[in-house]
Structure 1
Amino acid sequence: MIENGFKINECDKCVYIKEMKSSCIVCLYVDDMLIIGTNKDIIISTKKMLSSNFDMKDLGQTVVILGIQIKRNDYEYILSKSYYVKKILKRFNQFNYKPTPTPFERIANLRKILKGSFLNWSTPK
């Protein structure tokens, strides 16, 4: 990667960045790879360079990586962890429960120890 003009990201050693007229970022995680570029040409040339050095399979545009779902439209990318949450709920057979905004009962008494005494709060009805 270094020989082809990429620099290692100082914060995450699995991220490589190449900046010229166009920019390209390559993220590596075990046997997964995400290639992000400012245009198609730099992405294609990066794929060619990588595939000339090792066997790789192009799976096309990323839909899910590391449990993060990627949605696209003409103006933006949206990253969502809902895919991962649903997968975990299914694994533990918790998928049919109703969602709740808080894990506590709506009118729960909360206690806090303050200088050895308890203070009680109730949510308003």
Structure 2
Amino acid sequence: MNIELEALEQNRTWIITDLPLGKDAIDCKYVYKTKFKSDGSVERLKQSRADYSLFTKLDGTAFIALLVHVDDIIVAGNCSTTITALKSFLNSQFKIKDLGPLCYFLGLEVARSSKGIHICQRKYALDILADSRTLGSKPTKLPINQNFKLSKDSGDPISDPSSYRRLIGRLLYLTLTRPDLCYVVQLLSQFMDNPRTEHSVIVHKVLRYIKAAPGQGILLPSTSQLQLKAYCDSYWVSCPDTRRSTTG
């Protein structure tokens, strides 16, 4: 962008002057287009449509991914030479600080071993337990009993709905590395507009379940190809409020 602006100034495309009295400036914007090579392939780092903060590049067999969050960047790829070249380019443009192999990022803890890469949110989970004053609670083996149903009228309204909403929001983020919590947390999130005492009871049971293994996470094995498999059971007309089906 700076190169484009310098070219416009050298060609005397405009003359800077004061705005006349009583006149308003007209907004302008820059429109960027994707550049292509002669063979039709994309010339540059490609933005993901699923996540606009994720950029990927494929050059032959070399693949590289770049994830941006404010001023933090994660770089991953299968070619160390390509990664080194990218970091050198970023440093020449933005003066970045290389923190080395990824260990901690936005509450995600990354550990490497011969078995693979383990991702968890242990500290984040313990912070939730500490803030909710459940560190000393007795652990439980299940976050919710099988076939247990909740409705919008389960119990009396709680005195502080905001605390329930904050807790559910934090638990939703914890499901990034805890797929075993997805069902119950999604179920409890349906009652954030008017949480009841029974909903609060189940939330605290979820916290006791987290207490049993706060460091539980996801292992990405190094000796086998990663295959993501998901299973669910449909409970037809199981929601007592909408009579719709839910999955567990």
Whether the TM-score (by the shorter chain) exceeds 0.5 is yes
CA drift at 1:93 = 4.0
Give the whole-Å Cα distance in 2 for the aligned partners of 1:90 and 1:66: 18
Q: Which runs of 5+ in 1 are unaligned?
A: 115-125
Give the whole-Å Cα distance in 2 for the aligned partners of 1:91 and 1:51: 39
Return closer, same or farther for 1:89/1:43 CA change in 2, 3 Å cut-off. same
Instruction: Output the aligned Cα RMSD.
Output: 2.9
Report what 2:129 is aligned to. Answer: 89
2:104 to 64, 70, 73: 64
1:24 matches 2:72: no
Return closer, same or farther for 1:19/1:91 CA change in 2, 3 Å cut-off. same
Give the letter for the 2:45 counterpart. Answer: F
Give the whole-Å Cα distance in 2 for the aligned partners of 1:22 and 1:112: 50
Report what 1:11 is aligned to. Answer: 50
Q: Which has the higher helix share?
A: 2
Paired residues, what number? Answer: 109
Give the whole-Å Cα distance in 2 for the aligned partners of 1:35 and 1:111: 43
Give the whole-Å Cα distance in 2 for the aligned partners of 1:81 and 1:56: 26
Percent of residue pairs identical: 24
Give the whole-Å Cα distance in 2 for the aligned partners of 1:103 and 1:12: 30
Larger radius of gyration: 2
Between 1:55-64 and 1:87-96, the stretch displaced more is 87-96
Normalised TM-score (structure 1): 0.71
CA offset digits 1:47-81 (Å, max 9, x no partner): 11111111211111111112111111234212112
Report what 2:86 is aligned to. Answer: 46
CA offset digits 1:70-115 (Å, max 9, x no partner): 11123421211223101322344432333212357x8xxx68899x
CA drift at 1:10 = 1.0
Q: Which runs of 5+ in 2 are unaligned?
A: 1-33, 36-42, 152-237, 239-248
What aligned pairs does 1:91-106 form with structure 2 within 5 A after superposition? 91-102=131-142
Give the whole-Å Cα distance in 2 for the aligned partners of 1:10 and 1:103: 34
Normalised TM-score (structure 2): 0.39
Q: Which has the higher strand share?
A: 1
